[in-house]
Chain A
């Protein structure tokens, strides 16, 4: 089946540092790709998405590019803030045999940003 692999955390950075969280996937076909963020004690919020190869998703300074040739969707941010501390999940959409989609998630990467 389809799967998502993320770099293990925690990732510890100082404020204003550059962030990269690696994500690679295994999938049949061409899934849509997502990054979700989970703040402490909360549910998941969609951070950004890309629906086809070479698409770049972006939001709140975060970016990720859908790379079909390397099956990757790495998350980047040029300058992190303390408020970015959270767990980040990479996910893909998998088409079920019913014709509908479900999300397949990676295990998550915890980001800790210190002042």
Chain B
């Protein structure tokens, strides 16, 4: 069984640019959540996708957007990058979005904005 994978592993961008991060969910999982983990902090919820629709959103501006595809893989897009967007971006998949369902995390994409 293949776990959650993310690409790329590392990324360096400059302020104002746009970035797309990718996530492949674990086999059989239809729900994908994205989290931002700033250095020395806990992960913060960005949004969640369930069967290709956004399911819920955290306190992030609209320049953070996403997609989920029919195979349940997902993308996180960030426009107009700011220095504070530098962080580890984690994707997590789960077999459903109900209470108590374990979320399985990928290794993350480390984004550096210069």
Judge: A and B partners, yes or no.
Answer: yes
Name the residue on B nearest A104 (C-beta).
Answer: B45
Q: Is the CB of A98 within 8 A of B99?
A: no
Q: Is the CB of B56 within 8 A of A105?
A: no
Name the residue on A nearest B44 (C-beta).
Answer: A105
Chain B interface size, as a band, is 20 to 34
- The proximity string for A residues 89-100 relative to B, scoring 1 for CB distances below 8 Å and 0 otherwise, is 101010111111
Shortest C-beta distance, B34 to chain A (Å), equals 10
Chain A interface size, as a band, is 20 to 34
Residues 33 to 60 of chain A near chain B (Cβ within 8 Å): 36, 42-46, 49, 51
Assess whether A107 is interfacial by the CB under 8 Å rule: yes
Q: Is the CB of B45 within 8 A of A101?
A: no
Residues 11 to 46 of chain B near chain A (Cβ within 8 Å): 31, 33, 35, 40-45
Assess whether B7 is interfacial by the CB under 8 Å rule: no
A43-B105, A44-B90, A96-B55 as given contacts; A101 in contact with B42, CB under 8 Å? no
Name the residue on A nearest B6 (C-beta).
Answer: A43
A44-B90, A44-B105, A93-B100 as given contacts; A102 in contact with B41, CB under 8 Å? no
Set B58, B90, B105: member contacting A102, Cβ < 8 A: B58
- The proximity string for B residues 39-69 relative to A, scoring 1 for CB distances below 8 Å and 0 otherwise, is 0111111001010000110100000000000
Given A98-B55, A98-B56, A100-B97, output 11 extra A-B contacts at Cβ < 8 Å: A31-B99, A43-B90, A43-B108, A44-B43, A49-B100, A49-B102, A89-B43, A102-B33, A103-B103, A107-B40, A108-B41
